[in-house]
Copies of this chain bind each other. A is one copy, B any other.
Amino acid sequence: MTCPEELDPTRLLTPRAREVLAAARAVLERQGWEALTMRTLADELDIAAPSLYKHFASKEALRGQLAALALKEFGEAVRPVTTVAALVRRYRDVATAHPQLYRLSTSGPLDRAALPPGLEDWSGSPFLEATGDPHRAQALWAAVHGMVVLELDGRFPTGAAPEATWRELVRHFS
């Protein structure tokens, strides 16, 4: 299920900027946000750190583009929507498959001005589709997100959330 072209956050980037973004993503997924410094990123591309500023105004801007990219990819990965249970399953799987990207795109403030208009709504719409009601959709999204972040951060006593907890959550929203 692919994202409408006009929502592609990399649409306005130069080819070189797209390469930088891809490298940033690679470092992020491989080593985490902490390890993604302007210098390590520059090393990955075999250029000097200040040269990165030819493509992104700041590290924060780069972060924003990564977040936008994640919004798009997760939105795609979760489609097409069938049942609540299937949506939750897919959401969980894709988030845990890309934990760093997920965390980046879902925690901390989101610079909406830097997002293609409509992308955020589009990425959230599967929950609306699955539940049929905006508030139910928000509540489900929040619940699933809560489970995922607690799981990623190892906040459950068992490490990952027990299957039974996931089932319980799905049950409440089905």
The interface of chain A, by Cβ under 8 A from chain B, is 106-110, 121, 133, 135-136, 138-139, 141-147, 149-150, 153-157, 161-162, 164-169, 172-173
| Contacting residue for A169 out of B107, B139, B162, CB 8 A | B139
| Contacting residue for A145 out of B109, B136, B150, B166, CB 8 A | B150
Known: A143-B143, A143-B147, A172-B172. 19 other contacts (CB 8 A): A107-B153, A109-B153, A109-B154, A135-B165, A135-B167, A135-B168, A138-B161, A138-B162, A138-B165, A138-B168, A141-B150, A142-B146, A142-B150, A142-B161, A142-B165, A143-B169, A145-B146, A145-B149, A146-B146
Sampled A-B contacts (9; CB under 8 Å): A109-B154, A110-B155, A139-B169, A141-B146, A141-B150, A142-B147, A142-B161, A143-B146, A172-B172
| Contacting residue for A108 out of B142, B145, B153, CB 8 A | B153
| Contacting residue for A146 out of B147, B156, B172, CB 8 A | B147
In the bound complex, residues from chain B placing their C-beta under 8 Å from that of A139 are 143, 147, 165-166, 168-169, 172
Q: How many copies does the complex hold?
A: 2
Question: Who on chain B is nearest to A106 by CB?
Answer: B155
In the bound complex, residues from chain B placing their C-beta under 8 Å from that of A133 are 168
Say yes or no: A107 contacts B107, CB within 8 Å. Answer: yes
